[in-house]
Structure 1
Amino acid sequence: MLFTAEMFKMYQNYASYKHWQFEVLEYCHSDLGGLRHAVASVSGPETYKHMKYEGGVHRVQRIPKTEKQGRTHTSTMTVAILPQPTEIDMTINSKDLRIETKRASGAGGQHVNTTDSAVRILHIPTGVAAECQQERSQLTNREKAMQMLRAKLYSMKLEEQNNQRQYARKIQIGTKGRSEKIRTYNFPQDRITDHRIGKSFHDLRTFMMGEKLLDEMVEDLKGLADSESLLELLEQSASKQQNEQRHQ
């Protein structure tokens, strides 16, 4: 949970580094100052194009502050990146929604209050739900919950299309198994390794600042995805030509 909080801060810093807007939609603290789970909306030029390669399981190896024997512990956290749809991309029928309000809950933070401001929206046909209690205003929470719900439904629609077209790329979000680690953050050895491109960086603390080093890693991942896409197009073109020659 402490690592999850550091990762969330890294992405927040990365958004600032790229001059994007970063809006916290949900932030659930743990008792020890860590983070159980959080949701944020990132907007700006080419945000999804850059961020989609961060989706997957991130593994951390380090000696926790609570460890008395000096042993290195290994744990993981998961990042999901969903593209935010526009009004044109996704229409949701209001008859398909069930909206519930309740009192915000938490560990006594500033957002906990005595009014029914927390909002949960359920999309009945799919069973997909989104909840927001970050703001004091019920209306604002409803808007943010709707934003999250639309992103989830849009992601499901995209995945369905990808499966139909058989364009599932191993490098992209949603195509890797949840147990497969995409990146390891090894604190004792001061090393970050991305397992998809087989590349390691040193200076972990600078990387976790979410600036130049993270941007370099993202650019390398984009480069690999672009070359894989090009190879796929060339293979499809060659296969099409072979089929045409057979039928001649």
Structure 2
Amino acid sequence: GRSRLLWGAARWLWPRGAIGPARRPLSSSSPPLQELFAQGGPLRTFLQRQAGSEAHLKVRRPELAAVIKLLNQKEQELRETEPLLHDENEDLRKLAENEITLCQKEITQLKHQIILLLEAMLFTSEIFDMYQQYAAFKRRHFETLEYFPSEIGGLRHASASIGGSEAYRHMKFEGGVHRVQRVPKTQKQGRIHTSTMTVAILPQPTEINLVINLKDLRIDTKRASGAGGQHVNTTDSAVRIVHLPTSVVSKCQQERSQLKNRELAMTKLRAKLYSMHLEKETNKRQNARKIQIGSKGRSEKIRTYNFPQNRVTDHRISKTLHDLETFMQGDDQLDELVQSLKEYADYESLVEIISQKV
């Protein structure tokens, strides 16, 4: 069986570097906050570019848009207030000093907010690497379907197809919110922050008789666009398919070929529709007794990766493993946790069957 995975930070979804099984550690000598936001630097350039496309950003990443807009306003306010420090009026100078102190404090807080958003993207990239390496460890086929990097590193959004024996049966437990606790990698030192990203697991209906009527589809094409697309071109290669009865949308602009993108978009649409059908049937069976493992949907906070304490804890079965660096390599430790989840889910299913017969 096959399964399809979707990655993304909880608020938006980001990547870093070329795709490959090798890990991509950040330098331990990360720049301080002032240097990170310096004029002409990659982060400042990125923020200016995003602010210039505010309408697009509000749709794709509304919270980031709000923070960037507020940061720009506060920095403008600071620039306008600083000349008053040299005013002849002493009262006005004192008022300006107070305003500048408050403004600088707010600017620092906004910059930290942006760093947290970046941290979520970097963590998403690490999770993507972990699952790619886990697929190799289990000798499963791993095909990247979408991979959207941002200009400053981190994974904005990605999806992949994993094929192999019982792939979905094992991977389905990874769906949900993953939380990371650590000093952000973009800083040398500082307090521990908490960021999140979300994983969605969709079964791939390879042998399921799922009929999709063409008259129920609206297919739109347009040019591939924007940073993050692997190929930005001048042909109408990007494809968007809407399943009218359910309003489910599937999009793809990964390939240069419109035909290939249409094929991939249809594959993703089938997976989404099948997942909806499967969830509906599962909910029917679980109305009497909600199974703990893998039944709370993608909003469930399933796992915490605590780097200062060097541990990973799965909250569904209260299981903690240490040596987080080894766990993130996606081999024995991750497999041990997946097997524990599978065993517990099997146990809960057995209890449910017995309870229905009593």
Q: Fold-level match, TM-score > 0.5?
A: yes
1:119 lines up with 2:239 in the alignment:
yes
SS of 1:126's partner is: coil
In structure 2, the CA distance between the partners of 1:74 and 1:148, relative to structure 1 (3 Å rule), is same
Aligned Cα root-mean-square deviation (Å): 1.6
Letter in 1 for 2:310: D
Name the count of aligned residue pairs: 236
Q: Which has the higher strand share?
A: 1
Equivalence map 1:99-248=2 (5 Å)? 99-107=219-227, 110-166=230-286, 168-173=290-295, 175-176=296-297, 178=299, 180-238=300-358
User: 2:232 and 2:317 mapped to 1: Cα distance?
Assistant: 43
1:9 lines up with 2:121 in the alignment:
no
Gaps of 5+ in 2: 1-120
Q: Which has the higher helix share?
A: 2
Letter in 2 for 1:184: T
1:92 lines up with 2:212 in the alignment:
yes
**Aligned match of 1:54:** 174
User: 2:125 and 2:261 mapped to 1: Cα distance?
Assistant: 22
User: 1:182 and 1:119 mapped to 2: Cα distance?
Assistant: 33
The CA deviation string for residues 158-193 of structure 1, in whole angstroms up to 9 with x for no partner, is 1111222336522115x2471x31100001111100
In structure 2, the CA distance between the partners of 1:119 and 1:197, relative to structure 1 (3 Å rule), is same
What is the percent sequence identity of the aligned residues?
Answer: 68
Letter in 2 for 1:94: L
The CA deviation string for residues 72-129 of structure 1, in whole angstroms up to 9 with x for no partner, is 1101111110111135431100110111111112327651122111111110110001
Q: 1:28–1:106: 8 Å Cα contact kept in structure 2?
A: no
User: 1:18 and 1:93 mapped to 2: Cα distance?
Assistant: 36
The CA deviation string for residues 26-84 of structure 1, in whole angstroms up to 9 with x for no partner, is 11212321011111111111000100000011000011133365111101111110111
Larger Rg: 2
Q: 2:148–2:230: 8 Å Cα contact kept in structure 1?
A: no
Q: Give the structure-1-normalised TM-score.
A: 0.90
Larger displacement relative to structure 2 (162-171 or 40-49): 162-171
Which residue, 194, 197, 207 being the options, matches 1:74?
Answer: 194
Letter in 2 for 1:127: S
Q: Give the structure-2-normalised TM-score.
A: 0.63
Q: 1:101–1:116: 8 Å Cα contact kept in structure 2?
A: yes
In structure 2, the CA distance between the partners of 1:120 and 1:215, relative to structure 1 (3 Å rule), is same
SS of 1:83's partner is: strand
**Aligned match of 2:37:** none
Letter in 1 for 2:280: E
Runs of 4+ in 1 over 4 A off after TM superposition: none
Gaps of 5+ in 1: 239-248
**Aligned match of 1:245:** none
